[in-house]
Structure 1
Amino acid sequence: MSDTDTDGERTGGLRVAMRGRDPDEEHRASTPLELLFDLTFVVAVSQAALQLHHSLAEGRLGPGVAAYAAVFFAIWWAWMNFTWFASAYDTDDVPYRLLTLVQMAGVLVLAAGVGSVFEDGDFTVVVLGYVLMRLALISQWARAAVAHHDGRAGALRYAVGVALVQVGWIARLWVPGAWAWPTFVVLVAAELAVPAWAEFHRRRTPWHPGHIAERYGLFTIIVLGEVILASFTAIRSVVAGRGLSASVLLVALGGLLLVFALWWIYFAVGEAVLSSLRTALTWGYGHYVVFAALAAIGAGLEAASAASEHHAHLSIRAAGLAVALPVALVLLVLGGLHRAGGTGTPGHAPLLAVGAAVVVVLGLCSPALGAGGAVLGMGLAVSATLAADLVVLRRRSGTPRTTPGHTEGPGRRGASGPS
């Protein structure tokens, strides 16, 4: 790597002082190490979506969704922590790379424990992998506290806060069953509170807003790729057993339309403006719902394919809603996030809300339309929402925004956000 930090030193040496990256650095892009790191999360996301599919197919809706939400929080939060830290303190030296390797190992351990959470409610392996990742991050924050005088107070708060919460996660493994979920909620709240506490009273860490926006966009593409893979796997399984049917073909076509239209909607509005801590927290935390719901669409499409061929203990309506509800969640939350990020026009969020409502209605009408017809209808509805949204964006801004990933220039200034 050849980037420079705020003191002009080159990164990528044997050992480099963590003095903070320049938040105004031009042409800041994701590094090869960050991309490699993301690939380990492909495994974790895939395992979570696969187990959710099995739960849906077996008719265990409540426990399956609860386990999925819990596991995906661990996946998302660990990814987001690394992403924001790397945006501020990526020295790419040997200690940094080795600690990143430890975090990657933790992701794989976490992925290995996903099945136990869904089957038995056993979080032992997931917590082991999660704590392993967090210990590596604590070490990174400690390095930053030692080397970066201006950011020392915030870095120390991050290190202490993250460490204390990990003690809580480990202790939770021994709590009685009745307290398992209440303590889980409390610890999630504690995790989410750490960044706000660490960044309080101008203890700002030098995040790069353009870099952060790109990292979130890349992870969105990764999750959408999981949806495509899950859909392909389901269709291949059905075709191998009974041959290609009209219903399965419609599910495949509708799923592809959904992926493409949601991808376009996500990127159509340009780069978020993370100008304050509140904006950054809202935008960053809101992506939990976006990522989790996108991955859940893949499980829903698998369930719809199975239900259309009567291979699942799931009604056609339930299968349709398994696709419709996560799609609607993505649309609704994206409308709010685009507004929070300063990229949505006045008509943007209402249009997405209308699209979400139509998708839910189509899910409810699955028994009449068939699983394939309902999914295809959802794909067409989201595509129509996209088309209307592009017209509104063009009229409001006076500038065409039909190119996904369009940005307004280099990274935004003054960002601050969570880790």
Structure 2
Amino acid sequence: MTSAFRIRMTGRSTDESHRVSSPLELLFDLTFVVAIAQVSAQLAHKTEAGQALSGLGPYLMVFFAIWWAWMNFTWFASAYDTDDVPYRLTTLVQMAGVLVLAAGVPSAFDEQNYTAITIGYLVMRVGLVTQWVRAAVEHPEGRATALRYAIGISVVQVGWVSRLAMPESWGLWTFIVLALLDLSVPIWAERTGKTTWHPHHIAERYGLFTIIVLGESVSAATIGVQRSLANDGFGGELIVIAVAGLVLLFALWWLYFLEPAAEGLSSHRNRSYYWGYGHYLVFASLAAIGAGLEVAVQPGAGHGEVPAAAIGYSVAVPVAVFLAMLWVLHAPLVPDVVIRPLKTLIAVVLLLLLPLAAPLIGLGGVIIGVAVVASALVAATLLDVHLRASGTRVTGAAAA
């Protein structure tokens, strides 16, 4: 799309041909690289200190802010992206908010201080509300919905800011209430009319964000390798875990893109909330895998205060969550899921049992096992696809 000074903001067509991510959307995604790297690193530090469970709460809360801000921008852009000067400037405001949020991640984990994160979230919401107000002014057909979005987001944001003045003991339940209210805004707003988001564009955007999160896992593991090399140099277990981690991430990438979401979203637009919201667990689990791998490649990992089984679970559990969510999200969306549920179930059970064998096979053996399970699921699924395609061809030939 060629940028102009100003283009009237109207709802874009739901069946627009060749709809792909814009350069601005790709730039916007890059700011989230920093935020995801921060939250993944903090979870890794907690895991390394044997405090993975205590770090899980802050991790999930901070990741919610990151994911929700990205998701709101993405769905708005799919329906109203004009790529003109005002649109680009309001997007810049949201990008600035992401960077402020990222700067506040360490204090949220170490001190339970969410001030910087709340300020960054506020800046992002100001940019988003501005865009919704503009949509209400320039697109009369969608005005009621746009105004509901602007009002709903603003009211909930008042709650987020007010939360800073509340007692620390209220932190968890106020987060849950406000998060649920945030999630309710789109459902309430679109009761007066649906926004014209593009199914193939949305599927592509989610796929790109999946790649970003996987990339952060690669980065986290690389940081762990660098620290290990600085302390102990090359070692057999280090090489094994690093290679197994790379194979694992490659297998997870392959599995995600085996499921065709775009056609399902096109056929079942009413299930978009289910699919879109459920990706919170997909993205959060992928980022957590990176944190687990970063710890796994540390010198002496599994031989010190943190047992090998615990480190193994820091990788195996998020992988199991990721695999389970692939089926949960796509089963209601497509007539026939590509990754068979029985194979997914077997893989999940194996993943949850593998770390128990850590005393026998070591941490390296556990990570290899996780990578083998994921790779085997890829191979089994590709074989299923091939057999089904061959069966279709044979049936079609016989009918002819």
Q: TM-score, normalised by structure 2?
A: 0.94
Instruction: Indicate whether 1:389 and 2:387 are aligned.
Output: no
SS of alignment partner, residue 199 of structure 1: helix
Deviation string, structure 1 residues 323-356 (Cα, Å, up to 9, x no partner): 0000000000011112133164386233222112
Assess, with a 3 A threshold, how the Cα gap between structure 1 residues 307 and 358 changes in structure 2: closer, same or farther.
Answer: farther
2:169 matched residue in structure 1:
178
Residue in 2 aligned with 1:221?
211
User: What is residue 235 of structure 1 aligned with on the other side?
Assistant: 225
Structure 2 portions without partners, runs of 5+:
393-400
Q: 1:295 aligns with which of 263, 272, 287?
A: 287
Q: Counterpart in 2 of 1:249?
A: 239
Matching residue of 2:319: 327
Moved more, 60-69 or 128-137: 60-69
Q: 2:220 touches 2:294 (CA, 8 Å); kept in 1?
A: yes
SS at match of 1:28: coil
Question: CA deviation digits over 1:96-140, x for unaligned, max 9?
Answer: 000000000000000000001100111100000001101110000
Deviations 1:176-232 (A, max 9, x none): 12211100000000011111111125x110101100000000110111111111111
Show the 5 A alignment for 1:49-88: 49-88=40-79
- Which residue of the other structure, out of 141, 145, 161, is the alignment partner of 1:150? 141
Looking at structure 1, the residues matched to 197 and 391 of structure 2 have their Cα atoms a distance apart, in angstroms, of 29
The CA distance in 2 between the partners of 1:237 and 1:208, in whole Å, is 44
Alignment correspondent of 1:356: 348
| Correspondence 1:309-324 to 2 at 5 A | 309=301, 313-324=305-316
1:339, 1:349 within 8 Å by CA — same for their partners in 2? no
Q: Give the residue type in structure 2 aligned to 1:372.
A: G
Query: How far, CA to CA, are the matches of 1:347 and 1:48 in structure 2?
Result: 30
Q: In 2, are the aligned partners of 1:297 and 1:326 still within 8 Å (CA)?
A: yes
Corresponding position of 2:9: 18
Q: Distance in 1 between matches of 2:335 and 2:5?
A: 41
CA distance in 2, matches of 1:270, 1:296: 24
**Residues of 2 paired with 1:307 and 1:320: CA distance?**
15
Question: Following TM superposition, by how much is the alpha carbon of 1:16 offset from its aligned partner in structure 2, in angstroms?
Answer: 1.3
Offset of residue 59 of structure 1: 1.3
CA distance in 2, matches of 1:89, 1:13: 15
8 A Cα contact 1:270 1:343, kept in partner: no
Report the TM-score when normalising by structure 1.
0.90
Deviates more, 1:273-282 or 1:236-245: 273-282
Match of 1:111 among 102, 105, 119: 102
Q: 1:245 Cα deviation (Å)?
A: 1.5
Distance 1:338 1:308 in 2: 40
- The count of corresponding residues between Structure 1 and Structure 2 is 390
Deviation at 1:22, TM superposition (A): 1.2
1:404 maps to none
| 1:160-175 alignment runs, 5 A limit | 160-175=151-166
User: Of the two structures, which has the highest relative contact order with CA contacts closer than 8 Å and spacing of 6 or more?
Assistant: 1
Contact 2:301 2:308 in 1 (8 A): no
Given that 1:58 and 1:312 are in contact with CA atoms closer than 8 Å, whether structure 2 keeps it comes out as no
Structure 1: segments with no counterpart, 5+ residues? 3-11, 401-419
- Whether 1:268 and 2:258 are equivalent positions in the alignment is yes
C-alpha distance in 2 between matches for 1:276 and 1:138: 28
Query: Is the 1:348–1:393 Cα contact (8 Å) retained in structure 2?
Result: no
- Counterpart CA distance in 1 for 2:275 and 2:391 is 24
For 1:269-311, what per-residue CA distance to the aligned partner results, in whole angstroms no more than 9, with x for missing partners? 2233114454101110111101110011011011112264468
Conservation of the 8 A alpha-carbon contact between 1:307 and 1:314: no
Q: Is the 8 A contact 1:282 1:340 kept in 2?
A: no
Which one-letter code corresponds to 2:68 in the other structure?
Answer: W
Q: How far did 1:312 drift? A: 6.0
Is the contact between residue 62 and residue 105 of structure 2 (CA under 8 Å) also seen in structure 1?
A: yes
Counterpart of 2:194 in structure 1 is 204
Q: Hey, what's the Cα distance between the residues in 2 that align with 1:88 and 1:347?
A: 31
The equivalent residue for 1:99 is 90
Shift of the 68–276 alpha-carbon distance from structure 1 to 2, 3 Å rule, reads same
Which stretch of structure 1 is more off in the superposition, 41-50 or 356-365?
Answer: 356-365
Deviation at 1:364? 2.3
Displacement of 1:243 after TM fit? Answer: 1.7
Deviation at residue 257 of structure 1 after TM alignment: 1.2
For 2:335 and 2:29, the matched residues in 1 are separated by: 26
- Specify which of 14, 28, 40 is matched with residue 19 of structure 2: 28
8 A contact 2:295–2:301 mirrored in 1: no
Answering whether residue 192 of structure 2 is matched by residue 192 of structure 1, we say no
Cross-structure match for 2:396: none
Q: CA RMSD in A?
A: 1.7
Secondary structure at 2:141's aligned position in 1?
coil
Separation in structure 1 between the aligned mates of residue 176 and residue 269 of structure 2, nearest angstrom? 23
Contact 2:115 2:164 in 1 (8 A): yes
